[in-house]
Amino acid sequence: SVTWNSHNPVWGDIIGQGDSDTINGWKTVDATNAVQEWVNGRPNYGILFESDERPDQGNQRVYHSREQANKPYLVVDYTVYEDNCAPWANIGDLNAWSPATFTVSWSGEDCGSGGNPPSGIDHYDVQRSENNSDWHDWKMHTTDTSAAFGGNNNVTYWFRVRAVDKAGNIGVYSTSKSTRVDTVPPTATITPLPEYTQSSSFLVSWSGSDTQSGVASYEVQFREAGGSWGTRTYPASQTSDWATGAEDGKTYEFRVRAIDNAGNYSAWSQTSTTKVQDPFSTIRPFSSPIVNGSSFQVNWVGYTTTTITQFDIKYRVAGGAWTDWQSFPGTTTFATFDAATEIPGWDPNGTALIEFEVRAIDQTPPPESFTGIPEAGIVADPGGNMEVQAYFPIIFQTGQ
């Protein structure tokens, strides 16, 4: 047997739904959507009432009717409004250039007539055209107000829309709006920086190009080597900026990418790196830790981003006070030190440890600073008081 609880017919789309309480008496629900479908000529089969009808749970649905006139029936209460005013619709503004996938939006408004309220927009019809050719249906009979569109490179797409209200009035198609698709990303390059710089401020520059929509902006990233990237955005018209606050001894990295007017991003450019380095110099290690005499050759080396103009060298004896030795031209990297003439009260039969430190001066102030830490030393033993039994190798290890 077929009962309300066991019969499950195949129903169409749900036009509208709502809830009602379980108190006896007349029930009122909003059936506007269902009635509108009838007016529009769309067939449907009325309204279905559903409830929990499990007898074992004490639930059942009962329609009381002892007289024919009181049998259950559906009453539709409605008011007729006259609406002869067609709605209008517009396509939302589009950018001159768009990426491969972009959003098209539209909106509309209905109008009433004879002092009656408007019936309201029922749906929209949206059409498209490629390169201003024939129109083609795209989104028809839709209640949406936006949709994603996928286009091909260098093609101009046009869109127009019309609205249809609930009274069946059809608006005219709107003014069309267009956008051109650019799927090719731009390119960007950062100008290489010098390996070293002495300044705490230096200019970073970059460039980019885009053959279609053009470059709209740049994103420049910067960091201290090994740190996290920071980002600044610049308009297409600006292709350089000053990096400030750089610290001596630190390495800085920069890279750039371009964004075109369609919203396409280039890949990040190669990284440009520079190290802030004041003039640097050091005394080279002596080939032998002991010399049997009072004179010996001192060698040094210097590094700078410009040109070293002068080396200043100091020495000390047996860990004593530092004494100026000489200043040498920037092209000179060795000289002979004669303890007998340089050190007051030198004992030609004695033995002494002599240590050295050098500083470089280049064309850009400030000069390298003396640290007071010896960079190399040698034992002068003119009297032959020391006898070397063996040499032990010196092993340098970094990273600890």
Which residues have a Cβ under 8 Å from the Cβ of 133 and sit 6 or more positions away?
none
pTM of the model: 0.59
Quickly count: other Cβ atoms within 10 Å of residue 304's Cβ.
21
pLDDT digits (tens, 9 = 90+) for 52-111: 667 776 666 655 545 556 555 566 666 676 889 999 999 999 999 999 999 999 999 999
Distances (CA, A) of 157 to 42, 82, 131, 132, 176: 34, 38, 6, 7, 10
pLDDT by residue, tens only, the chain of 400 residues = 445 455 555 656 665 666 667 676 666 777 777 777 777 777 665 566 666 667 776 666 655 545 556 555 566 666 676 889 999 999 999 999 999 999 999 999 999 887 888 989 999 999 999 998 999 999 999 999 999 999 999 999 999 999 999 989 999 999 999 999 999 999 999 999 998 887 889 999 999 999 999 999 999 999 998 899 999 999 999 999 999 999 988 999 999 999 999 999 999 999 999 998 878 899 999 999 999 999 999 999 998 767 889 999 999 999 999 999 999 999 999 999 999 999 999 999 989 999 999 999 988 777 888 999 999 999 999 988 877 666 666 565 554 4
All domains of the chain in start order, with CATH: 1-78 (no CATH), 88-181 (2.60.40.10), 187-276 (2.60.40.10), 280-380 (2.60.40.10)
**Whether 274 contacts 109, CB under 8 Å:** no
Count helices and strands (H / E) in the chain: 2, 24
Please name which of 375, 377, 337 lies closest in space to residue 358, comparing C-alpha atoms. 375
In this structure, what DSSP letter does residue 170 have? B
In this structure, what DSSP letter does residue 265 have? B
Q: How many angstroms separate the CA atoms of 144 and 139, rounded?
A: 9
What pLDDT score does 17 carry? 65
Q: How many angstroms separate the CA atoms of 161 and 141, rounded?
A: 11
